Amino acid sequence: MMGWLGPGLILVGSIVGSGELIMTTKLGAQAGFVLLWFVVLSCVIKTPVQAELGRHVISSGETVLVMFNKLPGPRGRRPVWLGLPWLTIVVFSSLFGIAALSWFSPTGTDDTAGGWLLRLALVGLSVLATWFVAAYWLVRRWQPAQRSGEPEAERPLVGWFLWVYLGCQLVMFINSGAVIGGAGQALELGLRNWISLESWVWTVGIAVFCGLLLLSGRYSALERGSLVMVSLFTLTTLVCVVLLGRTEHALQGSELLSGFSFSLIGSPGEGVSHGDVALTTLGMYAATGIGTWEMMHYTYWCVEKGYARHAGANQPGEAWVMRARGWVRVMYTDALLTMVVFTISTICFFILGASILYPDYDPNGLETLRLLQRIFTDSLGSWAAALFVIGGFVVLFSTTFSGTAGTSRLVADAMGVIGVLDAKDYAARLRFSRIWIVFGLSMGCLTYYLIENPPLMLIISGFVSVVMYPIFGLGTIYLSYRRVDPRLRPGRLASTLLWICGISLAIISPVAAAFGVALKQGWIVLPGT
């Protein structure tokens, strides 16, 4: 069993970075220890859903997009205009919208919530109009010759989930930009005395290096690289927390206990509002533990590791059931060990942020990594500045490395499901996956260049989880009872955990998002503030 663990290590490499180093530390810096309970909840509540998706992979051999495309609800034949040309126009028009919001920032009386909402509405309507015009043009001017040989009955059925996924994938360019931009800030911070370059220049260099590694490697190289990176940052953060007791920021038992008082906001730090804390909490919740994209990526790592292949095609008789149950146990062990690793890392980052940065510092903008550096220098000494730069770069680079690899497989699979690519043509999917690696890294660099504020970018992309977590929570429950072979369904304990966690994801996500926005905009006011 131990020899077949591995998909979770890649997952940890993708998880621990943007959520733990940036958002969890930022939350501790803004609110202190009071939200430790929610950090722990965010880590553990998603693992049962992730594990049940892995069970479905072993039972059916299907990937997550194939599974969720079969969920009940509206579906129809793929429109003739839904192809790579239209999707390319959608991506670049969306990027232009981000540029418009970034470059033409409001001034004077327009620098208000109302001014931003008006500007956002105008840009959003312009982008949507571009999408509709592009679809109309493709149907009228380009597609007739193409669809003449493709009868409607041969176009695949596309369910509502695929449309939701394609829309959310646009927002995730901002997430990848935040992570790779954070790595660029780490290099800019560490090498500023030798090489004077802006963080976005370092970001481009990191993207090139990451792309070369991914284009030349395969699953085994990815697994080994993630193992090394995960081991380095986990050990370093544990050492920092242990040595915290030798400093003026020594951890007190009362502080840890206050973190489990189940308070919602607490007393924000210097210059931080309750609304800021609420939005950071939402960003932390979206970026820590198993995020929606990591849940999807995990199904591909299980396939590439061979869990479903070794179980074999679903067959009658007890032989297949015994094999499948054995690989489910391996997958569950992998998922649980993954949860232990990233939960410990997450708690360590939160403790360092709450102990050292609260209430005087709030990592933000181009100063994000410079302020986060204090969690190492204040616990280990000034000599640890270089250690933080190395560790911060490793953590964020591992997230970029693993996340880009997973997303390239995910998007290639999406193109196969909607019929843009032949799902059975492995060579075509591999070519598309490699093209996406280059394209995705380039888009991440562009979004960082336009915004240059990793925490804000992670909060924006965190709203994707508001849409996706309820779908995954409830959708996985449906799949567990309607699509998984009855002989392989979860036992009583696993079923109970799935129901509790699935329904919790469906409730917490929209409630947390609505509460955070309302508090930030001043629509509600907490007592005593």
- In the chain, where the domains are located: 2-78+156-521
Give the pLDDT confidence of 39-98 residue by residue, as tens digits. Answer: 999 989 999 998 999 888 888 888 889 989 989 999 888 888 888 888 889 888 888 888
Domain 2-78+156-521 coded CATH 1.10.3720.10: no
Give the pLDDT confidence of 422-440 residue by residue, as tens digits. Answer: 888 888 888 999 999 999 9
The pLDDT assigned to 153 comes to 53
The pLDDT assigned to 110 comes to 45
The pLDDT assigned to 114 comes to 54
Q: Which amino acid is at 348?
A: C
Q: Which amino acid is at 317?
A: G
User: CB 500: neighbour CB atoms within 10 A?
Assistant: 12
CA distance 30 to 26: 6
To the nearest 10 degrees (0 to 180), the angle between helices 219-243 and 384-417 is: 140
Alpha helices in 217-317 (DSSP H): 219-243, 253-258, 274-287, 292-305, 307-311
- Residue 160 confidence (pLDDT) above 90: yes
Task: Write phi, then psi, for 144 (nearest 5 degrees).
Answer: -55, -45
Mean pLDDT of the chain: 83
Percent of the chain surpassing pLDDT 90: 18
- Residue 398 confidence (pLDDT) above 50: yes
Pairing between β-strand 157-159 and β-strand 75-77 as defined by DSSP bridges: antiparallel
Give 478's pLDDT tier (boundaries 50, 70, 90).
very high
What is the arithmetic mean of pLDDT over 355-365? 85
Q: How many helices (H) and strands (E) does the chain have?
A: 22, 2
